[in-house]
Copies of this chain bind each other. A is one copy, B any other.
Amino acid sequence: MNGRLLVINPNSSIKVTQGIDRAVAPLRSAAGPVIDVVRLEDGPVGIETQEDVERVVPLILQRVRETNDAAAYVIACFSDPGLHAAREVAGRPVFGIAECGVLTALMLGARFGLISILQTVIARHRRFLGTMGVNDRFAGDRAIGVKVTELADENVTFARMAAVGAALRDEDGADVVVMACAGMADYRARLADTLGIPVVEPTQAAAAMAMGRIALGW
């Protein structure tokens, strides 16, 4: 097994990029492909609006074009910016963390919920779930209501995630939840313990799928 997996964080945050790097660490092995996690230096600090999503797409496509030695790519933003264009450009497997996170959740429960950061992204998520065609398995989408740039207080962030996850479980009927944001893998196990249902960390889900596909060579 060889090759290289490029994980692209489309925002410019070093802290988020480090969080993603820690998230994918368990997938690294001496025998396996290298996993490189990079950020877009010219990307925004956080991707919140639909315009933010659109503006990072050309940067992602440029990065994919420049990195023509990668065996596969992960776009590590839950809006999956430029996913289909990147597939067209790359000619090799490209994984979006929203798509992979949701597909992984479909194996872990009958109905999944999304723990989002901001209320304003929920309409975007609905469009994306419609594109995936998985609305029959969807339980709900609730926002913790903390700005991406203000997620630093870990106690507040975790408490909000736990509260929102419990509402998805108890009021919306979710039996699995997806963290609808990159870079928060450190909370995953603790959140699963607290909620008592599986929690999907989407960057891990995507990177794991990418590693499998690199190994298979298709």
Binding site for B on A (CB under 8 A): 1, 26-27, 29-32, 49-51, 53-55, 57-58, 61, 82, 84-85, 87-89, 93, 95, 99-100, 103, 106-107, 109-111, 122-124, 126-128, 130-137, 140-141, 173, 175, 188-189, 192, 198-199, 201, 204-205, 207-209, 211-213, 215-218
**A82 to B58 CA separation, bound complex (whole angstroms):** 13
Determine if B192 and A85 form an interchain contact, defined as CB atoms under 8 angstroms apart: no
Determine if A132 and B132 form an interchain contact, defined as CB atoms under 8 angstroms apart: no
Q: Nearest Cβ in chain B — how far from A68, in angstroms? A: 16
Query: What DSSP secondary structure best describes chain A's contact surface?
Result: helix
Determine if A124 and B84 form an interchain contact, defined as CB atoms under 8 angstroms apart: yes
Partner among B55, B61, B82, B107 whose Cβ is within 8 Å of the Cβ of A99 = B107
Determine if B212 and A53 form an interchain contact, defined as CB atoms under 8 angstroms apart: no
Determine if A54 and B49 form an interchain contact, defined as CB atoms under 8 angstroms apart: no
Determine if B212 and A123 form an interchain contact, defined as CB atoms under 8 angstroms apart: no
